[in-house]
Amino acid sequence: MSGNANIVANILLGAPGSGKGTQAKRLVETFSLTHLSTGDILRDAVSKGTEIGLRAKAIMAEGKLVDDDTVNGLVFARLLDETSDVLFDGYPRTLQQAQALEDFLSSKGMALGSVVLVDVPQEVLEARVVGRRVCSNNACGAIYHLESKPPKQAGVCDLCGSPLKHRSDDTAEAFQSRMGEFHSTFQPLLGFYKHRPNFRSVDGNRAPELVFESLRHVFGERA
């Protein structure tokens, strides 16, 4: 496991709700990249029962957030196994993780490729969340939006006729609290990357197809 020095690690950044995950899936297909999301790496290591995977499992079993060093260890073990370029989605999440990744890549002769932000204004993300209504029938679970996908009859599910509800996670207060936490770690992370020559920002406040066109253009520059 000495690692493949030709590996290029690309990073897709964005707030929760920015559509980053969906775009990542399309990018990896288009450019034959390996999609590395922290959740997948974690689940993979836990299922393989590696030493670090077991440590992560124990931390999660206590209901705690897996610490930076453990996440880094999991990610680096995966990178050493990779044979094609990768796209990180959800990693690095903190400045510490970004710095550790930088050190790891240079120690293995691997390169940092494109770092791309899917930029969506906070008020747009908030409107997406706050306008969301979900069917109260758990077996149905249909999701609506007051502006972009209203039900035919206000407050009633089109599919099963059950009342729609506004989840407590979807209130403006809950959203702002989550975003406050997110930005306290995200802004230092963004600061670490945003003046790099390989950093790009794309306008994520457009139809997914248009966002993807911009991303495809940015990633196509690598070739």
Q: Does 135 bind Zn ion (CB under 5 A)?
A: yes
* 28 has binding-site annotation: no
Q: Which stretch binds Zn ion (CB under 5 A): 16-24, 65-73, 130-138, 144-152?
A: 130-138
Q: Which stretch binds Zn ion (CB under 5 A): 11-19, 58-66, 123-131, 152-160?
A: 152-160
Torsions phi, psi for 193 (to 5 deg)? -100, -25
Q: Does 124 bind Zn ion (CB under 5 A)?
A: no
CA atoms of 6 and 130, how far apart (whole Å): 44
* 20 has binding-site annotation: yes
Give the 3-state secondary structure of residue 58: helix
CA atoms of 66 and 57, how far apart (whole Å): 9
* 43 has binding-site annotation: yes
* 83 has binding-site annotation: no
Residues identified as active-site? 20, 93, 132, 167, 178
CB contact at 8 A, 129 and 171: no
Closest distance to Zn ion from the beta carbon of 160 (Å): 3
Question: Which of 5, 65, 159, 210 is close enough to bind Zn ion by CB under 5 A?
Answer: 159
Question: Which of 87, 118, 157, 202 is close enough to bind Zn ion by CB under 5 A?
Answer: 157
Q: Which residue has the tokens 């979900």?
A: 134
CB contact at 8 A, 12 and 27: yes
CB contact at 8 A, 70 and 98: no
Q: Which residues bind Zn ion (CB under 5 A)?
A: 135, 137, 140, 142, 157, 159-160, 162
